[in-house]
Structure 1
Amino acid sequence: MSTSRAADPPAPDAVAATLREAEFVRLCARPTGDALAAAGLLARALRSASTPFHVRTTRAGTAPDGDGTPVALGWTAPDATFVPAGDRPVSVVAAEVVAELGADPDPVVGLAGVVAAESAPGADGSGSLLESAERRDAVERRPGVAVPTADPADGLAGSALFRAPFSGDPEAARALLADLDYPAEPDDDDRRRLASAVALDATADAPPRAAEAVGRALHPYATPEGPFETLGGYADVLSATAREAPGLGVALALGNDVAREAALDAWRSHATAAHGLLDDPSTSRYDGAFVVRIDGESDGHAVLATAARLARDFASPEPVALVVADGAAAAAGVDGTTDVTAALREAAGDGTASGDARLGDARFDGDVESFVGGFRGAL
């Protein structure tokens, strides 16, 4: 999960020292599930310390104006203490900051951030979070597919963790379950059969990286006391709400379960729209980039970024996928060695771009073909 950054970020103990001395903290999270989970971890620690705080998401290049001490999560801010997207999930670094403050990070929130960062529970420095969750019986590994809801058809159709023929289509998901004779109360063998079917559907006619991508959604960690059925499902909802309804995402990360149903509605609509963009796209393949053109104006940044990630993993034969509409675009890269946000920023010219090396979005003036040409040249 490497990414370029303009300056070395402060160590967790330095971030903790800043928070300890602050009278009021403004947590400014990039709209990703990982950064949102990190904000939730820090906000809970600040609440325990009786330190006033405010949480918001932002795509700005500098910390938004306001009183108090700004802390940027998921991006490099020149005018704030920052924890950028880097070699480890932002939520892992935030958990270390919480520990430096003498508090216990919520392991389920932290691990949901880890999964949202396309990592795995226990990897990339999250071992202590997983150990804490297992010690508390907060997670339980089981066969099956990572979805947020108890209704498997709803979960399969609404998932943006993978792309398959039933994605965005609850009726098709129910047909799959009927073909498998999937019972209302499945056992481990039933869950294994479902996971195998999902893996086959998601990887058919897909690039090789699809196997790794869908693998992150299989053999999930169930969360018996969590707001959603699995860690992966929690991560999926956080990622969707971070872009689609950030206020709901913030509420979830802070532990407000009242927002659960509204967040699920946002998750469903977000995934349905993202998959819909890829159902019958106009595509072009270039050296290093796979381009998906969307007719007309898009609904903005939210859906394009998710569609770009899905296109990268399940459609693109190239290491970078670009989804572009009139005035807006998003790009996703495989490993961060090619900084897609830097390429978007160069192509956008006087427009705006935000994100990290692996995933970013942009607004631009001018025609789509010129933007695509500028993006390819920047790559």
Structure 2
Amino acid sequence: MAVTGRSERDLAATLTDAGFVRVAPRADGDSIAAAGLLLRALAARSTPFQARVVPLTDDLPADATVPIGFPEEFAPDDRPASAAAADLVRELDCEPDPGLALAGCLLGGDPEAAGVDLDRRSGVGIPTADLADGLAHSTLFHADFSGDETAVGAHLAELADDDRAVASLAALDAVGSEAASDRAATAIERALRPHATPEGPFETAEGLADVLDCLARDAPGVALALAMGHDTRLEALDAWRTHATAAHDAIRGADTGRYDGLFVARINEGPVATVARLLRDFRSPEPVVLVVADDEAGAAGFDGVGEAMAEAGVAVDGMGGGTPSRGVARFDCPPEAFLEAFRGAMA
């Protein structure tokens, strides 16, 4: 039976006596980071466990001891799942990894909830020491040079490796474009003045958050292994680069339309959820974005998105789901039919 809707202290008491724990995070970066924090503590306590990432379109597993990322379950007070996991780990007399806790809370929208203190530095929050690589493949923002390492290199050649100048480059390019949305100036802030993680797998907590978010749907097993502390750095970075390039390319090739309160982008292929988030934050004049491909869709907004994707999926005999701010769906109908179903669900 799942142990949910309880305080971290009560849950810690249950896990302390558990002979076997099944952890089931949803396929989003915050939930996977939270699972990693808990699984590290269980391993340190020699508690046997099994972990499986659950797609956003799937229901809560009946056999999950600790389901993470499901509404009203692991963190019913609307905190990031990673914040709840960090408190739970402390109740288990372990210390949460600060970089992982912060990365998860960044993805959960409340970095202060991590309860950790990491030094900040100037520059941009990327996972690699190679600036051209990191800037070109970051999905913390979308700029004219995004996805094009050669173009980034040309810009960097004029900056003398100055972190502040690099941050200015990213900010001005992401915010200064004629196509930039009003939200771009706020959204770019989470990529700037990153938290250094010298003991972590990547250069910054923001870089780790970016990688986890990209891998949550494309390579959830690699994402979970990374969050657990296994040496999957190179594999994770390869998957991150592939995901990011596809997302930025899809944005440039999208056919877009605007409805009352909804911005729609039609793409041939690409990571629909990431494309939707980037469009919401950096390009959309509307608060909700729907990205539609031939048989799948991704959406990003600020409230009710996952529920709307689930409702729209059911309406077209498909499936959907997600979090309040992001969602995905799969369907076997004309994309226009799903668009209309989603519009109806959001109305």
Equivalent pair of 2:276/2:298 in contact (CA under 8 Å): yes
Give 1:261's aligned amino acid: L
Q: 1:135-161 CA distances to partner (integer Å, 9 max, x unpaired)?
A: xxxx42111000000000000011000
3-state SS of paired residue (2:147): coil
Is 1:248 aligned to residue 226 of structure 2? Answer: no
Matched residues in 1 for 2:336 and 2:76: separation? 30
Q: 1:231-257 CA distances to partner (integer Å, 9 max, x unpaired)?
A: 10011111112221111111111111x
1:347 pairs with one of 312, 320, 326: 312
Matched residues in 2 for 1:167 and 1:208: separation? 19
State the TM-score, normalizing by the size of structure 1.
0.85
User: Following TM superposition, by how much is the alpha carbon of 1:85 offset from its aligned partner in structure 2, in angstroms?
Assistant: 7.5
Which residue of structure 2 lines up, in the alignment, with residue 195 of structure 1? 167
Is 1:280 aligned to residue 248 of structure 2? Answer: no
Equivalent pair of 1:73/1:83 in contact (CA under 8 Å): yes
Q: 1:17-73 CA distances to partner (integer Å, 9 max, x unpaired)?
A: 33223211111111111111100111011112211111221125434365xx52111
User: Following TM superposition, by how much is the alpha carbon of 1:170 offset from its aligned partner in structure 2, in angstroms?
Assistant: 0.4
- 1:244–1:367 Cα change, 3 Å: same
1:261 pairs with one of 210, 217, 234: 234
Which residue of structure 1 lines up, in the alignment, with residue 330 of structure 2? 363
Matched residues in 2 for 1:173 and 1:85: separation? 42
Matched residues in 2 for 1:153 and 1:45: separation? 36
1:64 pairs with one of 61, 64, 72: 61
User: Following TM superposition, by how much is the alpha carbon of 1:261 offset from its aligned partner in structure 2, in angstroms?
Assistant: 0.5
Matched residues in 2 for 1:193 and 1:246: separation? 35
Matched residues in 2 for 1:29 and 1:287: separation? 34
1:320 pairs with one of 284, 288, 306: 288
1:309 pairs with one of 270, 277, 295: 277
Q: 1:298-344 CA distances to partner (integer Å, 9 max, x unpaired)?
A: 46xxx1111110010111100000000112101000x32xx111211
CA-based RMSD: 1.7
Matched residues in 1 for 2:251 and 2:233: separation? 27
Q: 1:69-95 CA distances to partner (integer Å, 9 max, x unpaired)?
A: 521111138xxxx31576321100001
3-state SS of paired residue (2:202): coil
Which residue of structure 2 lines up, in the alignment, with residue 213 of structure 1? 187
Q: 1:186-229 CA distances to partner (integer Å, 9 max, x unpaired)?
A: xxxx2111111110100122111111111100011111221101
Equivalent pair of 1:41/1:253 in contact (CA under 8 Å): yes
Which residue of structure 2 lines up, in the alignment, with residue 52 of structure 1? 48
Equivalent pair of 2:75/2:84 in contact (CA under 8 Å): no
2:68 pairs with one of 73, 92, 107: 73
Q: 1:83-128 CA distances to partner (integer Å, 9 max, x unpaired)?
A: 15763211000011111122211111111111222333xx2x22x3
2:17 pairs with one of 5, 11, 21: 21
User: Following TM superposition, by how much is the alpha carbon of 1:376 offset from its aligned partner in structure 2, in angstroms?
Assistant: 1.0
Equivalent pair of 2:5/2:76 in contact (CA under 8 Å): no
3-state SS of paired residue (1:278): helix
Equivalent pair of 2:253/2:267 in contact (CA under 8 Å): no
Which residue of structure 2 lines up, in the alignment, with residue 168 of structure 1? 147
Is 1:43 aligned to residue 35 of structure 2? Answer: no
* Structure 1 unaligned regions, length at least 5: 1-7, 131-138, 184-189
- Pairing of 1:281-296 with structure 2 (within 5 A): 281-295=254-268
1:103 pairs with one of 90, 94, 98: 94
Matched residues in 2 for 1:40 and 1:158: separation? 24
Equivalent pair of 2:214/2:240 in contact (CA under 8 Å): yes
Give 1:173's aligned amino acid: V
Which stretch of structure 1 is more off in the superposition, 274-283 or 19-28? 19-28
* Structure 2 unaligned regions, length at least 5: none
Equivalent pair of 1:72/1:84 in contact (CA under 8 Å): no
For this pair of structures, how many residues does the alignment match? 338
3-state SS of paired residue (2:267): strand
Give 1:369's aligned amino acid: E
- 1:129–1:140 Cα change, 3 Å: closer
Q: Percent identity?
A: 51
Equivalent pair of 2:142/2:174 in contact (CA under 8 Å): yes
User: Following TM superposition, by how much is the alpha carbon of 1:273 offset from its aligned partner in structure 2, in angstroms?
Assistant: 0.7
Give 1:342's aligned amino acid: E
Equivalent pair of 2:312/2:320 in contact (CA under 8 Å): no
Matched residues in 1 for 2:74 and 2:330: separation? 25
Equivalent pair of 2:80/2:105 in contact (CA under 8 Å): yes
Equivalent pair of 1:305/1:331 in contact (CA under 8 Å): yes
Which residue of structure 1 lines up, in the alignment, with residue 7 of structure 2? 11
